Structure 1
Amino acid sequence: MTQATMTPTHMVDRWLAIYGAPDANAAALLVDDHDPDAVAFTVIEVEASADADSAPAPITTDVTYGDLAERSKRFASALADLGVGRGDTVGVLMGKREELVVSLLAIARLGAVYIPLFTAFATPAIEMRLTSGKAKVVITEPSQASKLEGIDGIRAIVAGEEFEQLVSSNEPIAESVAVGGDGALILLFTSGTTGAPKGVPVPVKALASFVAYMHYGLDVRDDDVFWNAADPGWAYGLYYGVLGPLATGHRNLLLHAGFSPELTAQILGGLGVTNFAAAPTVYRTLSKDPRITGFALRRASSAGEPLTPDVIGWAQQALGTEVRDHYGQTEHGMFINNHWHSDVYETLVPGSMGKPMPGFAAGIVDGQIAIDVPASPLMWFSGYLDAPDKTAARFTEDRRWYLTGDTGRADEEGRYFFSARDDDVIIMAGYRIGPFDVESVLITHPSVIDVAVVGRPDELRGEVIEAFVVLAPGIEGTEALEKELQQLVKTEFAAHAYPRTVHFVDALPKTPSGKIQRFLLRKG
């Protein structure tokens, strides 16, 4: 039976047999088994223009599977010399660049575990993740290295001269460790409403789910020029911008530069992108720029939050295709989609997230969108790192259903519609931000005695953060204090996660048990 004649069930079984095997070797599956001459990634950097009125010129560099194999084998030897071995964790604090992929593969070769760190995080957020994950080594880039100063017990390796010296001076590692399908590959931290961010161990067998989404959800083909523009510091960019493309052998573009509509248009047109995936904020921003028009994409996909109808209508004219909304979480990847692949393609229904992907079965449990675990062979999440209580809260008592925490409904045709987040996670520009993270920083200010953070609708970003702050007696809420609190969050948590507005209030609405009623703040 050829792949073209396989049913979705056969395809899922095939992927599970490969990536879930007891002897599954992540390094082999991601790089060594591919044609060494094939291009794995095209790295795009932007050279500053001497003419302030002209657009920056993108510079592209192709990175082959052979390049990645050789460099990751040598870098694995260097990490081994530092004491990194099977089961150890290594942090990677980088943007979209070749060294990030080399680092991931080198870590996998040792049977170690990769901890992605978002480059907008400040030192405390980075330190918390490294400490929780028990990492001793961090690989970073020059613009991020200062954030690691003062974190005890961390050996930092910086991209550039130091990184290249370690690669060139070490012999390739002889063999890569096979941890098997149940062995950990990634430790990715996500945020919730209360408590510290939760660690999500991602096993090698999760690659089967990522490959299924690349195939059915995104419909990435051999002749596509594929570009997932999401950041690899988060799930969508890591799962489907690095791991999925590596596993399937489909090239992705890595833009090592900040986002702008003009640069995006240059890349879409100049590199002939045919299959594009990005957060809704990217599409909303592009839709506001009249220069974004006349493209002929074959596929366009969005994930992170529901798309608004105006963006879908704009895309048909400007991009040459509709944008299809997809739904998932860090804990399991994408699983309800408006699929692009012809085997599961259906006409887009406005407002719907689509139907469960082959390999997943869904339902509505207590008003929440849920995964039927026994009927979902691609479901790989089994629990959070060292957090049994939080793990238990994600499943029904009999462990049959995984509860997403997002409320929704399903129609008679089996299509799912998102209603609201049952927790209070804020999704801004596709990034999930836990109120606890921001509140924990704001409460450290000596003038603040109580605080609550909520998300408010925003036309461009989907949501923005607003803070409600109760000040100590005798302290006046001024514009200067608002700016001081905003800067505190930028410095102590993440540059992107500061509250756009700070409201100074006399008290916060709370339940008799003392829980903040954030829904009242959102209504205010």
Structure 2
Amino acid sequence: MADPAQQVRDWLAEYDTPDASVAHLLCDRHDGAGVAVTEVGADLSARHLTYAELARRSRAVAAGLARMGVGPGDHVATLMGKGCDLAVAVLAIWRLGAVQVPLFTAFAPSAIALRLGDSAARVVVCDDDQRPKLDAGPDIAADAPWRVVTTGPAPARPGETTLTALAEAEGAGEGEEAAAVGGGAPFILLYTSGTTGPPKGVQVPVRALAAFHSYHHYGLDVTGGDVFWNAADPGWAYGLYHGLVGPLLAGHATLQLRAGFDPELTLDVLETFGVTNFAAAPTVYRSLRSTLKTLPPEIAVRRLSSAGEPLNPDVVDWARDVFGVAVHDHYGQTELGMCAGNHNHPDAAAGLKPASMGTGLPGFEVRVLEPLEDTEAPAGAFGRVAVDVAASPAMWFTGYRNDPAVAAGRFSPDRRWYLTGDTGSRDAQGHLFFSSRDDDVIVTAGYRIGPFDVESALLQHPAVAETAVYGVPDELRGQIVAANVVLHEGVAASEELAEELKKTVKARFAAHAYPRRITFVARLPKTPSGKIQRVRLRRGR
């Protein structure tokens, strides 16, 4: 194996070319007999999809999508849980040179409509139990411009079709060639939360596969002999980039649990399927710690990884004591994939340091800048975490699809530095230490939530005059969503009203993002210009 820097250059030479084809790179070039996806049910039943089956089914579905008018560059949304159907759907989209728009299944219709409208998606592929969210209502127009494909055995609505029908159409997929779109063309459009304004669209180009491969190999150290399971949801970056795309790119098998999180079920999956390489958010490990008393002898992992929020050092110690393996903390963003971490592969490992989020991933140079100047801070000094763009060949983000002004603010004026929005320090050996978010994004149980989305949902309740949403520390989730609410004159605060507001957020934005703490206040702290001072709320003032 080449040295890490050379290996990244080799991957770029393969993935950043005019003839780069996502379907070929993630499926067609691999051994057809190898397992691509193992879908695990809540009852621990298993369904296996080989690379040959993935190629055949995705070709057939791609032909059906083409008949619906989908072509290179078109946007196709997926409102789907983990599993074989999702793998088939995304490979079919990419086989056409189209762009996948992932939608998290916990989203309410309003959040779905916003993303579908901004992306101008032509088709939505969704699970049957998600189909009602696309029905006409306050957020979805009766004449919505997208067509719907469901995963069930029969169409959910008149005039619609299913993945099965597309795949079984006579002659479907015969002779279909995978589209070559080139390394700069987008193949994913994933929306990320911000502090103000609507979600921002991150266009992921094909060349980003080099960064994803680097993390899969060096960060996670997944090998062909591993049973690999990334527990994150593919509606978000970590679960999509590194739970589905990365393994398929490397020709490995990926485990996909089609069930909600439960610590007992997680342990059952680790044991039943002999998982050897496991990745999850710190919340998962903290939940396992509160559940697990003794480790079943059948569980024998060799690698444990964590991402999505800072990892407590005591969790690292607990895992080493119980599993015999330390949890390696990794760091990244939707705009980057993973760019730093305590790498598992020995060729990139720099040694674990307590509370450190590691060193730059091969292909990335991650530094800490002075708080007010775009120059490097001294070792150990507090500053802004940034990526040195010129020294990071795997860097792929250039801007947001729908907000170039915000994107420009993520870079230094000379565009040498990409500013992550996080603060921390870097020691003399290059280990990074996270301090805090430099903005108001809330990271709870690995999910990134923008205050704007939650505030917009709360303001739709007739009792709410003003509101400010912020994050507060929580031992299990890292942070929880909190809201200070100003009520209209004459409305009385009550526990019943607080519960109503929580339900409003679940119904109008997303089930995972409701405020677990609601405080009724007479006024909100603001600057002279009227901007809410969330930093004062976070500090309890």
Fold match by TM threshold 0.5: yes
Maintained 8 Å contact 2:213/2:249: yes
Instruction: Give 2:384's match in structure 1, choosing from 359, 365, 368.
Output: 368
2:8 is aligned with 1:12: yes
Correspondence 1:272-311 to 2 at 5 A: 272-291=274-293, 293-294=295-296, 295-311=299-315
Q: In the alignment, which residue of structure 1 is the partner of 2:379?
A: none
CA distance in 1, matches of 2:292, 2:87: 35
Q: Which amino acid aligns with 1:333?
A: G
Q: In the alignment, which residue of structure 2 is the partner of 1:485?
A: 501
Deviation at 1:386, TM superposition (A): 2.4
Maintained 8 Å contact 2:329/2:342: yes
Deviations 1:137-193 (A, max 9, x none): 100001111001123222111102222112101511521211000011000000010
Maintained 8 Å contact 1:487/1:498: yes
Q: In the alignment, which residue of structure 1 is the partner of 2:134?
A: 148
Q: The residue matched to 1:144 in structure 2 has which SS?
A: helix
Instruction: Give 2:19's match in structure 1, choosing from 20, 23, 29.
Output: 23
Of stretches 458-467 and 191-200 in structure 1, the one that deviates more from structure 2 is 458-467
Correspondence 1:350-389 to 2 at 5 A: 350-365=354-369, 366=371, 367-389=383-405
CA distance in 2, matches of 1:19, 1:292: 45
Deviation at 1:517, TM superposition (A): 1.1
Correspondence 1:264-275 to 2 at 5 A: 264-275=266-277
Instruction: Give 2:323's match in structure 1, choosing from 319, 325, 347.
Output: 319
Deviations 1:382-418 (A, max 9, x none): 1100211011000011111000000111111111110
CA distance in 2, matches of 1:9, 1:400: 20
2:378 is aligned with 1:399: no
Q: In the alignment, which residue of structure 1 is the partner of 2:189?
A: 187
CA distance in 1, matches of 2:266, 2:345: 25
Q: The residue matched to 1:376 in structure 2 has which SS?
A: coil
Maintained 8 Å contact 1:216/1:341: yes
Maintained 8 Å contact 1:296/1:321: no
CA distance in 1, matches of 2:446, 2:504: 23
Deviation at 1:219, TM superposition (A): 0.6
Instruction: Give 1:100's match in structure 2, choosing from 70, 86, 102.
Output: 86
Maintained 8 Å contact 2:39/2:84: yes
2:18 is aligned with 1:33: no
CA distance in 2, matches of 1:120, 1:136: 21
Q: The residue matched to 1:244 in structure 2 has which SS?
A: helix
2:448 is aligned with 1:456: no
Structure 1 residues not aligned, in runs of 5+:
47-56
2:35 is aligned with 1:43: no
Maintained 8 Å contact 1:442/1:489: yes
Deviation at 1:286, TM superposition (A): 0.4
CA distance in 2, matches of 1:292, 1:494: 36
2:331 is aligned with 1:330: no
Aligned sequence identity (%) = 55
Deviations 1:414-466 (A, max 9, x none): 11110100011111110000000000111121211110001111111111111
Maintained 8 Å contact 1:305/1:427: yes
Q: In the alignment, which residue of structure 1 is the partner of 2:167?
A: 167
Q: The residue matched to 1:71 in structure 2 has which SS?
A: helix
Q: In the alignment, which residue of structure 1 is the partner of 2:149?
A: 157
CA distance in 2, matches of 1:296, 1:105: 32
Q: The residue matched to 1:326 in structure 2 has which SS?
A: strand
Deviations 1:198-251 (A, max 9, x none): 000001111110000011100111111111111000000000111000000111
Maintained 8 Å contact 1:261/1:292: no
Q: In the alignment, which residue of structure 2 is the partner of 1:52?
A: none
CA distance in 1, matches of 2:89, 2:239: 16
The number of residues matched between the two structures is: 510
Maintained 8 Å contact 2:14/2:20: yes
Q: In the alignment, which residue of structure 2 is the partner of 1:519?
A: 535
Of stretches 315-324 and 421-430 in structure 1, the one that deviates more from structure 2 is 315-324
Change (3 A) 1:327 1:292: farther
Q: Which amino acid aligns with 1:36?
A: G
CA distance in 2, matches of 1:435, 1:255: 30
Q: In the alignment, which residue of structure 1 is the partner of 2:222?
A: 220
Q: In the alignment, which residue of structure 2 is the partner of 1:137?
A: 123
Deviations 1:20-78 (A, max 9, x none): 111101110010000011001111012xxxxxxxxxx3101111000100000000011
Of stretches 307-316 and 188-197 in structure 1, the one that deviates more from structure 2 is 307-316
CA distance in 2, matches of 1:427, 1:95: 21
Q: The residue matched to 2:23 in structure 1 has which SS?
A: helix
Q: In the alignment, which residue of structure 2 is the partner of 1:115?
A: 101
Maintained 8 Å contact 1:104/1:114: yes
Instruction: Give 2:344's match in structure 1, choosing from 337, 340, 353.
Output: 340
CA distance in 1, matches of 2:470, 2:17: 43
Q: In the alignment, which residue of structure 1 is the partner of 2:110?
A: 124
2:70 is aligned with 1:70: no
TM-score (norm 2): 0.93
Structure 2 residues not aligned, in runs of 5+:
154-161, 372-382
Q: Which amino acid aligns with 1:307?
A: L
Q: The residue matched to 1:383 in structure 2 has which SS?
A: coil
Q: The residue matched to 2:163 in structure 1 has which SS?
A: helix
CA distance in 2, matches of 1:520, 1:10: 47
Q: The residue matched to 1:254 in structure 2 has which SS?
A: strand
CA distance in 2, matches of 1:264, 1:290: 11
Correspondence 1:257-268 to 2 at 5 A: 257-268=259-270
Q: In the alignment, which residue of structure 1 is the partner of 2:431?
A: 415
Q: In the alignment, which residue of structure 2 is the partner of 1:54?
A: none
Of stretches 165-174 and 244-253 in structure 1, the one that deviates more from structure 2 is 165-174
CA distance in 1, matches of 2:512, 2:219: 29
Q: Which amino acid aligns with 2:526?
A: K
Maintained 8 Å contact 1:245/1:251: yes
Q: Which amino acid aligns with 2:75?
A: T
Q: In the alignment, which residue of structure 2 is the partner of 1:430?
A: 446
Maintained 8 Å contact 1:44/1:253: yes
Q: Which amino acid aligns with 1:40?
A: A
Q: Which amino acid aligns with 1:116?
A: P
Deviations 1:480-524 (A, max 9, x none): 111111000000100111011210000011111211111111121
Q: In the alignment, which residue of structure 2 is the partner of 1:236?
A: 238
Maintained 8 Å contact 1:337/1:357: yes
Maintained 8 Å contact 2:274/2:300: no
Q: In the alignment, which residue of structure 2 is the partner of 1:254?
A: 256
Deviation at 1:291, TM superposition (A): 4.4
Maintained 8 Å contact 1:116/1:234: yes
Maintained 8 Å contact 1:286/1:292: no
